[in-house]
Amino acid sequence: MSKGAPTERARVIDCRQDAVRAVRYNVDGNYCLTCGSDKTVKLWNPIKGSLLKTYAGTGNEIFNEATDSVLSIDINGGEIVAGSADCNYRLYSIREGNVNIDFMGESVNSVHFTPDGNCVLASTQDGSLRLMDKMSGKMLASLLDSNVLAKLEHPSKVVHSLSPHPKKQHLLTAAGQLVYLWVSKNDEDFEC
């Protein structure tokens, strides 16, 4: 197991958003955002589990190309990647105004840009993680249970979203209407 990997569930936040579709840390990791199927976005302090602000949505679809629910988004500079229940992930270029669509074969639960911005990491309904080349859409690697270095004993079978902390060995996961904060066993900075 990787030293310092977040394996201990330290906090559970009931977001009261019906199903939490995505959770993301901000750039410095002090706050996180959740989006729910109730069309709200909420700003949280994940360490304290406290709600700071609620933004109500209008119900209008932002991503008109999706034929089913958009389940996850990630933003990297001038690009947005969105995973959808229609088995596709979409890469939107804000600057160029175009979209690339790649078929995954399974509902895409969560998507993230890699730190270098060259690839997309996607989790799908069948439980696999796939590393995709951002420009070509080619699958570079597929991770299943046999390849996992550390496995979290998550109380929910389907995790809708995950967000690694940008600086610490913390991980946020979302399942149902709950957000879970995971920390490493040796995390001396965490205070309940």
State residue 22's pLDDT score. 81
pLDDT digits (tens, 9 = 90+) for 115-138: 788 989 888 888 777 889 998 989
Integer angstrom CA distances of residue 125 from 26, 97, 108: 26, 29, 6
* Domains, in order of start, for the chain: 8-183 (2.130.10.10)
More confident residue, 109 or 37: 109
What's the whole-model pTM score? 0.55
Q: Give dist(CA 49, CA 192) in Å, integer.
A: 9
Nearest to 35 by CA among 46, 24, 22: 22
With vertex at residue 116, the alpha carbon angle to CA 188 and CA 139, rounded to the nearest 5 degrees, is: 110
State residue 188's pLDDT score. 67
pLDDT digits (tens, 9 = 90+) for 144-186: 544 445 556 777 767 777 787 888 878 888 888 888 888 877 7
Q: Express the helix, strand and coil content of the chain in percent, nearest 5 each.
A: 0, 50, 50
Nearest to 6 by CA among 191, 173, 136, 175: 173
